[in-house]
Structure 1
Amino acid sequence: MKDDNKKTVTVGIFVLIGIIILVVGVMTLGAQQKAFVKSYRVFAVFDDIAGLQTGNNVWFSGVKIGTVKKINFYGDSQVEIEMNLESNTRDFIRKNSKATISSDGLIGNKIIVIYGGTNEAPIIDPGDRLEAVMPLDTDKMMETLQENNNNLVSITNDLKVLTGKIAAGDGIVGALLTDSTLALGFRQLLEDLDRSAQNSRVMTGELANFSRKLNQKGTPIDQFLSDTILVKSLQSSTTGLEQTIQQANAAAENLKVATDKLNASDNAAGMLLSDVEFAEYLKGTMQNLDSGTESFNETLEALRYHWFFRRSFRKSERAKEEAQDQ
């Protein structure tokens, strides 16, 4: 009888311990899944959820605020995520907040991260849909990383070949590093540059001294720069020169007007220079005058032999001969 009571007590203790473990487990799981916390639901639609599962956590500013309740297909090829969020987070999440998919650690479970939102936007309401931002594709990142690794290998190989050629003395750099003659020439070039720099410093110092001497009082340059009478004389000379230039411009303008008139045919000078018909007329008149002069000379020559004028011409000739003799 006593053995039966012991067995009953032992079984009861194990059952009680099991019930306690079950309750603690349920409470723990419920606390992790926010099952016993007052919550509200919001939604987000993604093109690809990258392995997100029901029960995964939802984070906001590094704090776990809820879990993924359901995953449903939406539209043609999109996925709608239904999230349960703690009711005490409503004051911090705005309608313009965004949701994206991330990882809990480097290779951990997928999570949803809510971020953004401004104070100007109203507080989110139960049933609202957050703007979904697609996360970085891990596969594409790995492809890019692999491509970068290949490029790095190529660069390393090229660098290895380049350093080998330099060590062998190939090319300008290799020759410069291995050829002692080029090294001496380069050293001589540096020395020449150093001498040039020293000469430049000396020249700069001399220029500074010269400028200081120019600024000294009583020197001719200082008198030339500070003499107000000379400045006024130069100003008056400049004014006179400007007046002369204006007069020359006026004379050139008058000369242009005169040449324009000479090129026109509405005046005597222009007609003489440019009127072809008038020129032909003058030419004919001169020819007529020449012909008339020749005829007049012939008439005078004929009159010398006329009996009425012969005596007069002889007296005139004798008078000319006597004048020449005297």
Structure 2
Amino acid sequence: MRGENKRSVIVGIFVFIGIAILVAGILTLGGQQKKFVKAIQLKTVFDDIGGLQTGNNIWFSGVKIGTVKKINFYGDAQVEVEMNVEEEVVEFIRKDSKATISSDGLIGNKIIVIYGGSTEVPQVEDGDRLEAVMPLDTDQMMETLQVNNENLVEITANLKVLTGKIAEGKGIVGAVMTDSLLAQNFKSILVNLDRASVNSNRMINDLNTFTAKLNQKGYLFNDLVTDTTVMKELKASMESLNATAANAEQLTTQLKGVADKLESPDNSMGMLLNDPAFAESLKSTIENTDSATYNLNKGMEALEYTWPFNKGFKRKAKAEEKAARGN
């Protein structure tokens, strides 16, 4: 009887220990899964959850704040994820926060990461839906890497061909690197460029010196810029030149009018210069006048020897002779 009681006590002890271990395991797993923590429910909708499962963790600023409660199909080809989030962190999550899918480590389980949100926006409430941001697709990343690898291989092949041509002396770069005469010519060009640079610097220095002298007192440029008397005299000279130019222009206009009148047969001078008939008539008149004058002179000479005027001319001759003697 005593042996049976002892066996029952031992069995009871083992059962108690087993129950305690079971309760401890349940509490531990429940604590990890946030089963016994007050939480609110948030939702988000993804086009592709990439293997996310119920019970996966939810992170916010590097801290685990909940788990995935349920995954449902939504709309035509989307997936709605229901999340249990601890109430004690709700005050840090805003209505404009975003949710995305990430990995727990390089090849770990999928997790949901909540981030962002501005302090001006109210905190989330039970049943709110967060904006989903699709993560980078690993397959697309691998395809992009594959394309980059192919491009890199092609670039490497092209570089191999290019360096081979350069080593063989083909092209301008190859010729420069392999042709010693061309290298010497290139060196000579560089020397000439260096000399030209030195000459340019010297010319710039000379120009600076020249401009500095122009700004010194006593030079014409400085006087023109700073001396008000010179400026007044130049201004007066310019005004005189302008007046002279105006007078010359007026004189030119008047001379043009006189020339126009001389070219016109409507006046005496114009008729003299431009009317050939009048010129012939004037020439004939002058010839006749010259002939009449010649005949008049001959007549006067003959008149001296006629009887009525003979005595008078003799008296005039004697008077002129007497006056000449008195002198």
How far apart, in 1, do the equivalents of 2:44 and 2:158 lie? 49
Match of 1:98 in 2: 98
RMSD: 3.3
Match of 2:45 in 1: 45
Paired AA for residue 44 in structure 2? A
Percentage of pairs with the same residue:
62
Match of 1:56 in 2: 56
Q: How does 1:104-253 map to 2 (within 5 A)?
A: 104-239=104-239
CA apart distance, 1:234: 2.4
Aligned pair in 2 of structure 1 residues 147, 6: CA closer, same or farther (>3 Å)? farther
Aligned pair in 2 of structure 1 residues 104, 223: CA closer, same or farther (>3 Å)? same
How far apart, in 1, do the equivalents of 2:247 and 2:68 lie? 98
Q: Which blocks of at least 5 consecutive residues in structure 2 are unaligned?
A: 252-287, 296-327
CA apart distance, 1:211: 2.5
Paired AA for residue 84 in structure 1? N
| Corresponding residue SS for 1:91 | helix
Alpha carbons 2:30, 2:36 under 8 Å: kept: yes
| Corresponding residue SS for 1:102 | strand
CA apart distance, 1:55: 0.4
Q: How does 1:297-316 map to 2 (within 5 A)?
A: none
Moved over 3 A (4+): 1-21, 219-226, 236-251, 322-325
CA apart distance, 1:195: 1.0
How far apart, in 2, do the equivalents of 1:100 and 1:91 lie? 20
Match of 2:81 in 1: 81
Deviations 1:130-189 (A, max 9, x none): 122222222112111111111111111111111111111111101111111111111111
Paired AA for residue 147 in structure 1? V
Q: How does 1:61-76 map to 2 (within 5 A)?
A: 61-76=61-76
How far apart, in 2, do the equivalents of 1:249 and 1:219 lie? 36
How far apart, in 1, do the equivalents of 2:44 and 2:250 lie? 88
Q: Which blocks of at least 5 consecutive residues in structure 1 are unaligned?
A: 252-318
CA apart distance, 1:196: 1.1
Give yes or no for the alignment of 1:31 onto 2:31.
yes
How far apart, in 2, do the equivalents of 1:98 and 1:59 lie? 12
| Corresponding residue SS for 1:202 | helix
CA apart distance, 1:76: 2.1
Deviations 1:233-273 (A, max 9, x none): 2233445667788999999xxxxxxxxxxxxxxxxxxxxxx
Aligned pair in 2 of structure 1 residues 124, 230: CA closer, same or farther (>3 Å)? same
| Corresponding residue SS for 1:90 | helix
Alpha carbons 2:223, 2:230 under 8 Å: kept: no
How far apart, in 1, do the equivalents of 2:294 and 2:231 lie? 77
Report the TM-score when normalising by structure 2.
0.69
